Amino acid sequence: MERHNQSVSDVGLDAEMPSLDRDDSERLMSWTVKAYPQPTFVMDMSMIVVALMPTMYYIYGRFFYEDEDSRSSVVNPALFGVVLTFFFWIKVVRQKTFYSYRITENGGEVDYWLHFSRFAKILFKAIAIFVLVAVLAMISIMPMMIFALVGVGAMTIPAALKLLAWENEIEHGSFEWDRVQLISTDRSRNLVILQRRYDPDIPFEQNYLCFRVFLPKHRIDEFLDCCKKYAPSHVDFEEGRNIF
């Protein structure tokens, strides 16, 4: 249980985040947290299974493979597979998201963006430049390779150009208190979900509401008190583990 509580981290003022222009005149609460957008247990188990395959292959090559001359051809690829799997696990599967919330008397809004290190943009641009230079150099050395632009190059060059112009996009979400009908709390993930029950008599865009609120552990009750004050009186409250 303690492991799940660490999935939400309160973000201090020194955190690197985009500049967000907001009017705080009606603000009731505001905070910024870093959290896993989805439960990680299933993906963690899947990645452990994936990591076991190159790990077992490495153990076999390191301790049971008898041919000393060709042992490196077994051990090195297996070791590379282990490192690559753990890199993908940490940097992709367990990548966190920044959430910046603002709660007012009318409702709430959130801006959220993926967590990348401060050097990610430089790294992506370097990779893109390397790919473009490699393709152009290959064509200059072997002009016949220009025909490769029809195949692999047709995907590589646009992807490199897109990576060169990469920016960490900011997504936005909001809700209004009068549309909330159900509030679910999952304290194991420090998560409160504001929902609206399905009503077939109104359009889908007005019907749907599933607003996830990640909070620092010490502010969950404060936010629930705010919900009880500003949400409609007929709202149902429930607690328990949530799949969202």
Q: Which tens digit of pLDDT belongs to each residue from 58-99?
A: 888 888 888 887 888 888 888 888 888 888 888 778 889 999
- d(Cα 124, Cα 58) in Å, to the nearest integer? 31
Query: Would you call 89 helix, strand, or coil by DSSP?
Result: helix
Helices (H), the chain: 2-5, 41-59, 72-88, 120-141, 152-164, 204-207, 220-230
Query: Would you call 53 helix, strand, or coil by DSSP?
Result: helix
What pLDDT is stored for residue 125 in this prediction?
81
State phi, psi for 236 to the nearest 5 degrees. -95, 140
Winning range, highest mean pLDDT, from 4-8, 55-59, 72-76, 102-106: 102-106
Cα separation values, 20 from 2, 32, 203, 211, Å: 32, 12, 32, 20
Query: Would you call 192 helix, strand, or coil by DSSP?
Result: strand
Is residue 101 within 8 Å of 213, Cβ to Cβ? yes
Is the predicted pLDDT of residue 110 greater than 90, yes or no?
yes
- The region, left, alpha or beta by phi > 0 then psi within -120 to 50, assigned to residue 107 is left
Q: What percent of the chain has pLDDT over 70?
A: 80
Sheet holding 8-10, edge to edge: 8-10, 27-35, 97-104, 107-114, 171-176
What pLDDT is stored for residue 78 in this prediction?
86
CA angle centred on 228, ends 222 and 230, rounded to 5°: 100
Is residue 58 within 8 Å of 79, Cβ to Cβ? yes
Sorting pLDDT into bands at 50, 70 and 90, what band is 5? very low
What pLDDT is stored for residue 86 in this prediction?
86
Is the predicted pLDDT of residue 111 greater than 80, yes or no?
yes
The tokens for 41 are 């247990």
- Helices and strands of the chain, counted as H and E runs: 7, 9
- d(Cα 177, Cα 232) in Å, to the nearest integer? 7
The residue that leads in pLDDT, 56 or 161, is 56
Dihedral (CA of 27, 239, 219, 228) sign = positive
Count CB-CB contacts under 10 A for residue 179: 17
pTM greater than the 0.75 cutoff: no
- How confident is the model over 182-231, as pLDDT tens digits? 999 999 899 999 998 766 676 666 677 889 999 999 999 999 999 999 99
The residue that leads in pLDDT, 123 or 196, is 196
- How confident is the model over 12-48, as pLDDT tens digits? 434 455 555 555 557 899 999 999 988 888 888 988 9
What pLDDT is stored for residue 152 in this prediction?
60
- d(Cα 140, Cα 146) in Å, to the nearest integer? 9
What does the radius of gyration of the chain's CA atoms come to, in whole angstroms? 24
Give the mean pLDDT of the chain: 81
